[in-house]
Amino acid sequence: MRQTRPGTDGTFAIPLPPGEYYLCALTELDPSSLSDASFLEQLAPSAIKITLRESEVFQQDLKIGE
C-alpha cells in the first residue's frame, strides 16, 4: 500500500518494486480506511491493475471527474 500527493507540476511518482498493483486516485481519504479490507475491495473494480517488471517504468494518465 502506497499513497502520495502530487508534486508542484501536478504529477505523482511512486517508486515500487516489481509486482502486481491496483492503481486508483481518490480526492478524499480517511487514513484509517487503508487498513479496512472491505474498503479496499470496493476500490478494486474501478482500479487499474498493473504489473511491474524489474527496472520497468510505468506511466498512467488519470483524470479525476470534473
One pLDDT digit (tens) per residue for the chain, 66 residues: 777 887 888 788 888 899 999 988 888 888 888 889 999 999 999 899 999 999 888 888 877 765
Taking each continuous run of H as one helix and of E as one strand, the counts in the chain are: 1, 2
**Residue 52 falls within a domain, yes or no?**
yes
**Residue 42 falls within a domain, yes or no?**
yes
**Residue 45 falls within a domain, yes or no?**
yes
**Residue 1 falls within a domain, yes or no?**
no
**Cα–Cα dist 26/40, whole Å:** 12
pLDDT at 17: 92
Per the structure, the count of domains in the chain is: 1
Domain span at residue 52?
A: 18-25+36-56
**Residue 2 falls within a domain, yes or no?**
no
The whole-model pTM stands at 0.70
pLDDT at 59: 83
Contact by Cβ (8 Å): 21, 11: no
**Residue 3 falls within a domain, yes or no?**
no
Cβ partners under 8 Å of residue 33, min gap 6:
39, 40
pLDDT at 65: 64
